[in-house]
Chain A
Amino acid sequence: MKETTYLEAIREAMLEEMREDETVFILGEDIGAYGGAFKVTEGFLDEFGSDRVIDTPISEAAIVGAAIGAAHMGFKPIAEMQFIDFIAPAFDMIVNFAAKNRYRTGVGAGIVIRGPCGGGAHAGPFHSQNVESYFANVAGLKMVAPATAYDAKGLLRSAIRDPDPVLYFEHKFLYRRVKEMLPTDEEIVVPIGVARTHRPGTDVTVVTYGAMLYRAAEAAERLAQEGVELELIDLRSLRPLDIETIVESIKKTGRVLILHEAARFGGFAGEITAQICEEAFEWLDAPVRRVTALDTPVPYSPPLEDYYLPQVDDIVTAARWLLAY
């Protein structure tokens, strides 16, 4: 066992895959000599050379396009977006080229596009976004959003091996805050599309992912003192969505709260809510509640950002409301 941060887990997944498989390479902005904006790829250039750690111009479309083309030829490219906000210039390549590649040619574009998402770092409207719902409606894409170091490692390994395009959202707030003891004597691989029950409970189901898992855990601790047991489900994968695990939990609790850090309108909670209504309506004792960020851009100033992001109090209030319903 070794103490490993979330960031180190991401590094290790890439290091191990690159050592084991010569077809894996990374391309992106400032990932070589500089080691990446968050130092995720520090030292990679020395170990793998500039053929496998490729610094590119500030051209996200070109980065993703080159990854798709190399995947055509049997490589397994990892395209780094310096901040996940900067995935926007590559939207066309992802949505129109990568996602539809298998459908129109029979061969998938097996690429990983990864980048730091999320707020809490007071980084403002363009370095804090959560972009999952921009892509959620696109068939052909897979999306994962790990919350733990174990899953960060295991999901990245699965993403690299996956023959279809995977968007890998790593939460920058967790990079150095999350530390776990990870086994060193086993290969950590987490399948894409399977959720995890983070904390079992009987009263209210909380469905969440990414950094919000920790807010939910804090709320659960607080409510436990009142004798209320939240069941926390960490989705880990957003597409495919593990609706089974959610429904099974609702059968037990009859009450569900969906928590995410992205804004509310058109947010991913909407899809989860719809599926719950279709598949678990009879099991619900209260309406589905959403706890999300507000419908504004992500604000910069700390008091504004705190106001914008879901807080522990919001989760506690929502859970109490569900119980009182």
Chain B
Amino acid sequence: MRTLQPDDLRELYRFLLLTRGLEERLDRLFKQGKIVGGLYRSLGQEATAIGTAYALRDADWLAPSIRDMGATLVRGLPAVEVLIQYMARDSRFTHGKDNSIHLTDRERGLVGPISPLGTQLCVLNGVALAFKLRGEDRVCMTYQGEGASRTGSSHEGMALAAAGDLPIVIVLEHNRWAFGTRSNREAAVRDWADVGKAYGLPIHSIDGNNVLEAYGAAREAVERARSGGGPSLIVAETYRMLGHAQHDAQEYVLQQELEEWRARDPIARYERLLVTGEIAAEEDLGAVRDSVDRELDEAVEVALATPTPDPETAVTDVYDEATDPRGHPWTRREIIGYPDLQVRH
């Protein structure tokens, strides 16, 4: 088990800034009409994804949900790839075929979400099963909001993970809102940790706005999974500070509640901790901010210069081969064409 060193503490800070800074740039691009489709922010809950993902090794696999962009950056996904993806350009991993925040990258062990949430847990169970069958000491981590945890696949996934003793860590992010529905209308539980009890999962309840607490719980859960102790559930208490997506002005949220949670902003809190703990001076933090800003500004330039995909590639990668056994392309455009009637008479 690895204890965090000062370098790690600074690195966590960099990921927090990178995540927020990248989303701020995405917000700007959205307002400029450069983003295709929705923009899903993780403002206020960045610490959970970053702290937990930081507990993994490179060989492990992770399935982020829509507010876990920070976890993908921790896995090494370059910010520019996220920008390209959000602008529906010819991205390296989906080539413009899948949506914005569906960040999938095999090389980094990332299984991106699909829009019906809760499903990833079922798939990551299979990855974890593969690790277990091969006797590898690799683990999986996956995320879901308390909203997604209401789906049948989430419950089926938790049941199978527990029954199969699979090396997987499930992070439940209780951010209070499933789109426009408050979490007390999603379940009768007061404590969302109760969700894991039915499955006999070891449970870690954490302050999701504290990056070090997220890391600490994940480290224990990951270690348990790696050493054959099976799955765990981490329940992170946090708050979605913006609407479901950019189109949602969250008029249903009380301003007072937002103010209360704003005071618990994970980045401001972590900065205070770094300074008071003498891990970093104010000017060190400023230097990190400047370097992140430069990195992100360059990434935006590169992304804006990236072309959109060639329209004809819409028909590739539906099936493995370019043709079916009779020699037809799998997806035929000319099937919609019209035969030359002259020839037929």
Contacts and interface: CB of A to CB of B under 8 A. Distances in A.
B125 A65 contact: yes
A193 B324 contact: yes
B38 interface: no
B124 A102 contact: no
Interface in B156-186: 156-157, 159-160, 163-164
Contacts of B102: 104
Interface of A: 25, 51-52, 54, 56-57, 59-75, 77, 89, 92-93, 96-97, 100, 102-108, 139-140, 142, 162-164, 191-194, 240, 242, 244, 278, 282
B124 A69 contact: yes
B318 A64 contact: no
Query: 4 closest Cβ contacts across the A-B interface?
Result: A69-B126, A65-B122, A73-B130, A104-B98
Nearest to A64: B122
A75 B122 contact: no
Contacts of B153: 61-62, 65, 92-93
A52 B130 CA distance: 11
Contacts of A77: 126
Contacts of A69: 111, 122-130
Given A74-B130, A104-B94, A65 B320 contact: no
A214 B331 CA distance: 33
Nearest to A27: B129
A167 B248 CA distance: 39
A242 B325 CA distance: 9
Which size class do B's interface residues fall under?
A: 35 or more
A208 to B, nearest CB: 19
Given A61-B122, A97-B123, A75 B152 contact: no
Contacts of B80: none
Contact of A242 (B124, B159, B326, B335): B326
A68 B120 CA distance: 10
A57 B159 contact: yes
Nearest to A192: B325
A59 B319 contact: no
Given A60-B156, A194-B326, 9 more contacts: A54-B129, A59-B156, A69-B124, A73-B127, A92-B116, A103-B318, A164-B320, A193-B325, A244-B326
Contacts of B115: 96
A106 B319 CA distance: 9
Q: Most A CB atoms within 10 A — which of B131, B152, B160, B164?
A: B160
Given A93-B153, A240-B325, A164 B123 contact: no
Contacts of A191: 325
A75 B330 CA distance: 25
B114 A96 contact: yes
Contacts of A240: 324-326, 328, 330
Of B95, B98, B325, B335, which is in contact with the most chain A CB atoms at under 10 Å from its CB?
B325
Nearest to B315: A139
Interface string B311-324: 00000011110001
B126 A65 contact: yes
Interface centre among A59, A65, A97 (most CB of B within 10 A): A65
Nearest to A25: B133
Interface in B283-321: 317-320
17 contacts: A25-B133, A51-B133, A59-B159, A62-B125, A62-B157, A66-B126, A69-B111, A69-B130, A70-B130, A71-B126, A92-B116, A96-B119, A97-B119, A97-B122, A102-B317, A104-B112, A106-B93
Contacts of B35: none
Contact of B325 (A25, A62, A194): A194
A51 B129 CA distance: 9
A65 B154 CA distance: 11
Contact of B331 (A64, A97, A139, A142): A139
Interface centre among A61, A67, A72, A282 (most CB of B within 10 A): A61
A70 B317 contact: no
A102 B106 CA distance: 12
Nearest to B152: A61
